Structure 1
């Protein structure tokens, strides 16, 4: 019987040791808000519905993105840095 108790005690002590070891390796929790680049706050995305054309034969959406450099709340043509299309499929929307 002594060996059963000794085995159980050894198992419990090993488990406590391993948990303590793992706790010591954990990173500190995030305590502050991550910094957000001001340029990210000035990004604007505009969408426009389009009829069928060479880019989207069945119609879809034109997506324009860029930074609002003059901070007027609008995406002016000279601020557009990316243009993408989201097209309707052959047999329905999207």
Structure 2
């Protein structure tokens, strides 16, 4: 699966996905649901439109509310668990 700007592996199991990634993703949002991120290893930043950037390290989590424009920025190779409804388009609505 290709994700512009991000390099790494992505694996989906039902409504959860774990990825090993590095790089910058494009700005996107999900209109109908929140998106949950849990960092397993590394450093993961979530830039939020109109709000402060969230920086997460290992064993830290953050939920991006539905309709919030955001983009992941991953400066070092990191392992991240994401939970979202099955069938959601990872690149946003």
**Which has a greater percent of helix?**
1
> Which structure would you say has the larger RCO, counting Cα contacts within 8 Å and 6 or more residues apart?
2
**Which has a greater percent of strand?**
2
TM-score when scaled to structure 2?
A: 0.23
TM-score when scaled to structure 1?
A: 0.23
